[in-house]
Amino acid sequence: MESLHNSDLVRGNIDAFILRVLLDADNYGYQIIKELGIRSGGRFELKEPTLYSSLRRLEQQGLIRSYWGQETQGGRRKYYTLTPDGRERFKVKWQEWQAARAIIDVLIGDGKELASGDGQK
């Protein structure tokens, strides 16, 4: 799906994607990108510039914190971890998404998909 990356629905949730990955475990930049790729079955690839600006924004908002890893080989990795505020924000985002999904299903999809599951008219 070419348009997926430009979809506002996807782009508007990138911060939440990252929070979701960090909710499971602390992680560093490339591994976050990889994790998102795996979880989306290869349908979503986060570009580096987007990742870095997202991480910076989240850190400035106090939702995540960073620390340097203890790698002995190669460059040191910068790991990110959720702050309590970050967990809280993710919970809110999650609820928003649940509510939004229900309403989008009804308003774009007529609500029939929810009931019948086949999406046909």
Partner 1 sequence: MTDRNDLNLFVDRLFANKRKTKAVMELKQEILSNLEAKVADCMSSGMDYQEAISQAIRDLDDIDSIIDDKQTVYIHRYRYDVMQGALLYVFIAWIVTIPARLTLSGVMVNTLFMVLGIAGGVLLLTMLQKGFPSSAEIDQVDTGKIGRMIRRVWILWGLFAIVITGYSLLIKFGSDLWFGRQVGFSGPYDFYETMLQLVLPLTTIIIPLATRKAGQYITKYEVKQS
Q: Of these, 5, 10, 26, 31, which contacts partner 1 (CB under 8 A)?
A: 31
Smaller CB separation from partner 1, 34 or 87: 34
Binding-site residue total for partner 1 (CB under 8 A)?
17
Structure tokens at 58: 């989240």
38 part of the interface to partner 1, by CB under 8 A: no
One symbol per residue from 69 to 98: x for binding partner 1 (CB under 8 A), - otherwise; what is it? Answer: --x--xxxxx--------------------
29 part of the interface to partner 1, by CB under 8 A: yes
Give the Cβ contact number of residue 64 at 10 Å.
25
DSSP label of 119: -
Q: Of these, 20, 34, 87, 112, which contacts partner 1 (CB under 8 A)?
A: 34
Smaller CB separation from partner 1, 27 or 86: 27
User: What's the CA angle centered on 22, arms 17 and 27, to 5 degrees?
Assistant: 115
Please state, in angstroms and rounded to a whole number, the distance separating the CA atoms of residues 47 and 51: 6
Give the Cβ contact number of residue 1 at 10 Å.
8
Q: Are 69 and 27 in contact (CB under 8 A)?
A: no
**Residues at the site binding partner 1, with contacts judged by CB under 8 A:** 28-31, 34, 47-49, 52-53, 56, 71, 74-78
